[in-house]
Amino acid sequence: MKKSKRSGFKTILLLIAVIIILLFGGKTLFDAGEFDTVWDHPLPDCRLLALAGAEDMTLVDEQKRALISAGDRQGLAPGQKSGVYLYEGSGSPNLIYETEGHPHGISSIETELGTRVFLVVHKAQGDVVQILDWNTSQLTVVKEVPFEDVRTLNGIVAIDSEKFFVSQDLGMGNRLGQELEKLLRLPLGKLWLYDGRSPRVVKDSLLYPNGLALSPDRKILYLASTLGRSLIVFDYEPTTFSVKWRDQFALRTAPDNLKWAGERLLIGSHPQLFHLMAHSIDPLRFKAPSQLIALDGLPGKPKLVELYSTKEGPLSAVASGVFLKDRVIMGTVFDKGVLDCARVAEGMAFPLGETPQP
């Protein structure tokens, strides 16, 4: 009789454990967007340019040319060098600056000293931010800012000719810890400020902070929370370089890099994060949905507009997008290619927190 009771008790505990695991798994999939429907929303006149891992980009020369940060993480393009590529809207992107290590976030700004470019580079000994001068078709290193014991810097935005914000997406120092951090959605990311003298953390306990953008009046800082599937808004005080939490918008898609197009904020985003994870493991076998969305009416009356989306391609995991002349240029985290499409006047508007439908 006692054995029967113990056996029944163990069965109940096992069932409870299974239910908890299923509930946790279901919530994890829900939070990752795996139950959401992704609609094909193409753009016309698209062509695929041969450049793998073109994760981030920035416009220079009165927004007539694009600098693309690209590194072939998955070995899809043998012989491709890591660095910054120049694209003028026709032909192919050309390598103009080779990096020692994998390049990541990139930002540019016009200053009294000319055009400055800020580039995150993952070197073997640790992450650095390079501050470079841009002159017609050449990048020259002005300064290199090391981040000791940090290997997960991601998005960057220039403040002026010497200062910048940069995000650190993951806090764990080893691969296993980072995978657990992502799976459990632990808010261990950080926002760093470099004030021209030394880098310091200005915000911590962030859930996978990624792309960054300063408002045109330089008073508001926008931060993409990829795993939080939201956009965080900070008030920025330029005299003290302080940031104060202001708002957070749920996007129902995982934002990556942020780029301005006039008063419109363009956001490369990932609708389904487990598809993105599978794509990162084997980009040729597994495809990941892509989106390019825009936010109008910031900061007070944000309206979300979907400019482009696709379930399986031609380009997986779009991470960034810019308006170059009358074209839309999109880059990707892992896939082989940059997508150059005709620009349309409007996209498909839908309320924040809802999924667009055709």
Q: H-type helices in 184-290, by residue range?
A: 273-281
- Give the span between the Cα atoms of 329 and 343, in whole angstroms: 9
Q: What is the domain partition of the chain in residue ranges?
A: 51-276
- Give the span between the Cα atoms of 317 and 291, in whole angstroms: 8
In tens, the pLDDT along 211-261 reads: 999 999 999 999 999 999 999 999 999 998 899 999 999 998 999 999 999
Q: Look at residues 145, 116, 135 and name the one whose alpha carbon lies nearest to residue 58.
A: 116
Class of domain 51-276: mainly beta
At residue 290's C-alpha, the angle toward residues 288 and 292, to 5°, is 165
Do the Cβ atoms of 20 and 27 come closer than 8 Å? no
In tens, the pLDDT along 250-281 reads: 998 999 999 999 999 999 999 999 889 998 89
- Give the span between the Cα atoms of 28 and 38, in whole angstroms: 18
0.85 exceeded by the pTM?
yes
Do the Cβ atoms of 72 and 52 come closer than 8 Å? yes
Q: Give the chain's residues under pLDDT 70.
A: 1-35, 345-358
